[in-house]
């Protein structure tokens, strides 16, 4: 596992290591280039959590994700009150990887 000081540092290094696509979170799937991935269609390979020193809006989690078809990318999401609303299945998937 790598150690990063900032979200941008984590994203830049993950991209160098092949996680080149940007995933977006929807209620029950993640999306990249109009392709949808259900919770069973991808694995979380790395997770990095960042806490804002003075602003709770700076709190984020960076997920390194690989689909079963080999697509690799990054998903960035807030946590706590700033997290996106998601289904129970997606919440379980995103919480299975221990930081």
Count CB atoms within 10 A of the CB of residue 31.
14
Q: How far apart are CA 71 and CA 63, in angstroms?
A: 14
- pLDDT score for 37: 92
β partners of residue 42: 67
Q: Which DSSP helix (H) or strand (E) runs through 60?
A: strand 60-67
| pLDDT confidence tier of residue 14, bands split at 50, 70 and 90 | very high
Q: For residue 30, what are its two tokens?
A: 């993640």
Long-range contacts of 8-12 (CB under 8 A, 24+ apart): 10/48, 10/50, 10/62, 11/62, 11/74, 11/76
Q: How far apart are CA 54 and CA 17, in angstroms?
A: 31
- pLDDT score for 55: 53
- pLDDT score for 77: 84
**pLDDT per position as a tens digit, 40-76:** 899 999 999 888 665 555 688 899 999 999 999 999 9
Say if strands 42-50 and 60-67 run parallel, antiparallel, or are unpaired: antiparallel
State yes or no: pLDDT of 33 exceeds 70: yes
Q: For residue 55, what are its two tokens?
A: 């602003």
Is the pLDDT higher at 89 or at 80?
89
Is the pLDDT higher at 12 or at 25?
12
Mean pLDDT, the chain, rounded, equals: 83
């Amino acid at each position: 596992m790598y150690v990063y000081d900032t979200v941008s540092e984590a994203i830049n290094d993950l991209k160098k290591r092949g996680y080149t696509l940007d995933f977006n979170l929807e209620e029950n799937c993640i999306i990249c280039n109009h392709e949808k991935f259900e919770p069973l269609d991808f694995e979380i390979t790395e997770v990095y959590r960042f806490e804002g020193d003075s602003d709770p809006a700076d709190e984020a989690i960076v997920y390194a994700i690989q689909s079963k078809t080999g697509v690799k990318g990054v998903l960035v999401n807030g946590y706590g009150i700033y997290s996106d609303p998601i289904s129970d299945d997606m919440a379980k998937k995103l919480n299975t990887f221990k930081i």
